[in-house]
Structure 1
């Protein structure tokens, strides 16, 4: 069974990243981030996003999200997010457990949430009987593979500022979003009003590791204690840092994301040729959501595994990665076309 399209988490590490780990595996280096590899990686983040930021590394995406949110909140606060947000759907109860906050969800049909929806959830301010909203959290790209425009992010940031809230961005696929928008990451984060960013590495060619980037550094003062308490402080930090150093060298982050997005567009075109298949969302980044004929799903999964997003509607999710090939895309589409044609009798 081939698992190319199940998730970009299924992909291995980019060869340049693996080589960076090997290069870092020489001799001894100071622990907990007091090493030259970490200094170099942070400097590259600053070159990309601005000199006056703070950058801290974590093991995984859930850790980065929880750490960022915990830095912005107290246990009596609430966090507004999409009902499809990773922090709401796929991070178990980690956000609630480690922040103590209530997640207040906004229904979405395309993964995005909008200012008027957010404002409806900002209620009962200064009421001791009600959780006090403190953060708006958005995903870029979204769980539906769509991408917020710069203006859309600025509009949400304006709501946050007007109501004395923070804006957090889950950027597990931030590179794919930037490529989709043909914009620099700084333009769709810091310049658009984001306070804290979870910068994804794992889904874009790293073996493991994510970064928590503080544009609003005033909220980072207790971060080191929160990270340690949350068991996300890596002792041999150089092996996360070396990966980010490689990812941020010669625009590798952009090359990987560009390729993944390109493969998604090719797959989209091929799927549109198949009878009974409907693309349900705008293919902005590296994910395709589609309705497949129910009869072919299990047969297709047996050859090319992928996830069913909505069992009731037979909507599936197909993810492309930095190492997805055009040959793999065509092989998947050929099998899908054959099965769909047999199913419909065409």
Structure 2
């Protein structure tokens, strides 16, 4: 397997730091600034959050996505509650090392979601447990936008889910590790892509940042209470950075650094990554490989496709990507191909040409 600096398709986490983000970090460097967020860069971040999410929105920079999710879920969960409803694919359920359970004392209550998306009627599966002292109280619904399988909730779909949860006495968290990709795909703002949710884990790392996410309180009615609680939770979950200015500067750059057309960096990066994923899909479809089957809609920056295991192994001699799950037979495997802000058309075409060459070989 190659280990050079070639573009791979394993994860958007593989991508380098966007130059505008790197410049923002350098701009925050030099001299002394008060620690723990009492600095000029974090003040600018606070203003950027208000501009992007509304006058009462409050943001709290953290180190990583797991930290943002656990902090958000703890803020929304009373100590006696503990139940978080999520899809079977949810990152908090499968890919965070049990952190919600171990660190947060929470219980993830999964629901089936073949295409990554839940529907309002599914909430009834756990809503009946409300008031039953023998059950973990399902007081939080956690949605991922865009989903772990590359699909996107429409504004109408996610709004309906949020409304259904609220009507059942639940609060709503959005895991927005790729919220930028969802908003770009939908052609809406970051706030609109959340559909009226209460708290967002705003992702930066997968969209051009070096490190850093943020917990964003979206619901104005919760701004005061959670604005008070989150700082303590963030500290207790080891997500409070002393030199916060360097995280804040990155997120502010994503939200406010614009091009000549006025498009912010988060949108430019996400729109490009989405377009490259569609180019991957189009390129693979053009090969007309017998047995090749796309297993999910390509709506954001991920392509899910089933192919022969032998072919996948051969292509991995040049590119990294992950197996997602077994295919329909032992000879087949479903793989995930991710595109990032720095994936180019040339990279995609070279990948598809490699797949074609391996088929012919």
TM surpasses 0.5: yes
Q: Where in structure 2 are the equivalents of 1:199-210 lying within 5 Å?
A: 199-210=202-213
Please state how far the C-alpha of 1:312 moved relative to its aligned partner: 4.5
User: Which of 264, 272, 279 matches 2:277?
Assistant: 264
TM-score by length of 1: 0.96
Q: Where in structure 2 are the equivalents of 1:219-230 lying within 5 Å?
A: 219-230=226-237
Indicate the residue corresponding to 1:296 in structure 2.
311
Does the 8 Å contact 1:87/1:95 carry over to 2?
Answer: yes
Indicate the residue corresponding to 2:121 in structure 1.
116
Count of residue pairs the alignment pairs up: 340
How far apart, CA to CA, are the structure 1 residues paired with 2:129 and 2:27? 55
Indicate the residue corresponding to 1:156 in structure 2.
161
| Equivalent position SS for 2:286 | coil
Please state how far the C-alpha of 1:341 moved relative to its aligned partner: 3.3
How far apart, CA to CA, are the structure 2 residues paired with 1:124 and 1:159? 16
How far apart, CA to CA, are the structure 1 residues paired with 2:360 and 2:78? 56
Matched, 1:182 2:187: yes
Does the 8 Å contact 1:74/1:99 carry over to 2?
Answer: no
How far apart, CA to CA, are the structure 2 residues paired with 1:44 and 1:101? 31
1:141-166 deviation per Cα after TM superposition (whole angstroms, max 9, x unaligned): 00000000011111111111111110
Does the 8 Å contact 1:119/1:159 carry over to 2?
Answer: no
How far apart, CA to CA, are the structure 2 residues paired with 1:49 and 1:128? 37
Does the 8 Å contact 1:167/1:194 carry over to 2?
Answer: yes
Please state how far the C-alpha of 1:320 moved relative to its aligned partner: 0.3
Q: Report which stretch shifted further, 135-144 or 2-11.
A: 2-11
TM-score by length of 2: 0.92
The RMSD of aligned alpha carbons is 1.2
Please state how far the C-alpha of 1:14 moved relative to its aligned partner: 0.1
Q: Which runs of 5 or more residues in structure 2 are unaligned?
A: 259-263
1:198-245 deviation per Cα after TM superposition (whole angstroms, max 9, x unaligned): 000000000000011001223332111111111000000000011112
Please state how far the C-alpha of 1:3 moved relative to its aligned partner: 5.0
Does the 8 Å contact 2:284/2:352 carry over to 1?
Answer: yes
How far apart, CA to CA, are the structure 1 residues paired with 2:129 and 2:253? 47
Q: Report which stretch shifted further, 19-28 or 142-151.
A: 19-28
Structure 1 ranges of 4+ moved more than 6 A: none
